[in-house]
Amino acid sequence: MSEKPSVLCVDDEAPILRTLERFCRNEGIPVRSASSAADALALMEREPVDIVLSDYLMPGMNGLDFLNEVHSRWPRVSGIVISGFVELPAVASALRQGIIVGFLHKPWKRDELKALIKNASERCRGFAKEGAVAS
């Protein structure tokens, strides 16, 4: 896997957004960031994105609704929810339905995030192979 999938981070809190960008840079993952769901959607319309990391509680559209929309428009994009809540039944339900591929508790461990990104990257590569075979 020479080309790494691109990641879009969405959070209304700048320090968290910067932490996520820092992680991605350190891991050598191409990263973009947006401070709201609307900005993120606008960015996605311009550039292709493979993985979306979104906070749950945000002003305007919340993380789940946002990822739901992403899933319906770009089904190959893997969505991961990050939340400060210990348990979120709605998140669990979205996981079961396949709308999102992962769920991350705040505060998360670096390894957890790394594993989630790795899983999501493999999913992306799977889509890429399918695409290559199809073409």
Among 35, 68, 69, 108, binds other proteins (CB under 8 A): 108
Q: Which is nearer to other proteins, 107 or 126 (CB)?
A: 107
Please give the Cα distance from 9 to 25 (Å, whole number): 12
CB under 8 A, 24+ apart: contacts of 91-97: 91/56, 91/64, 94/64, 94/67, 94/68
Residue 43 in the binding site for other proteins (CB under 8 A): no
Shortest approach of other proteins to residue 48 CB, angstroms? 26
Binding of other proteins by 56 (CB under 8 A): yes
Count CB atoms within 10 A of the CB of residue 59. 9
As a whole number of angstroms, the distance between CA 109 and CA 114 comes to 9
Minimum distance from CB of 14 to other proteins (Å)?
10
Stretch that binds other proteins, among 2-10, 28-36, 49-57, 117-125 (CB under 8 A): 49-57
Using CB under 8 A as the binding rule, whether residue 8 contacts other proteins is answered as no
Amino acid letter at 50? Answer: D
Q: How far apart are CA 28 and CA 4, in angstroms?
A: 8
Hey, CA dihedral for 96, 98, 6, 58, is it positive or negative?
Answer: negative
Site for other proteins in 14-33 (CB under 8 A): 15-16, 18-20, 22-23, 26
Q: Given the rule CB under 8 A, which residues bind other proteins?
A: 12-13, 15-16, 18-20, 22-23, 26, 55-59, 62, 84-90, 92, 105-110, 113
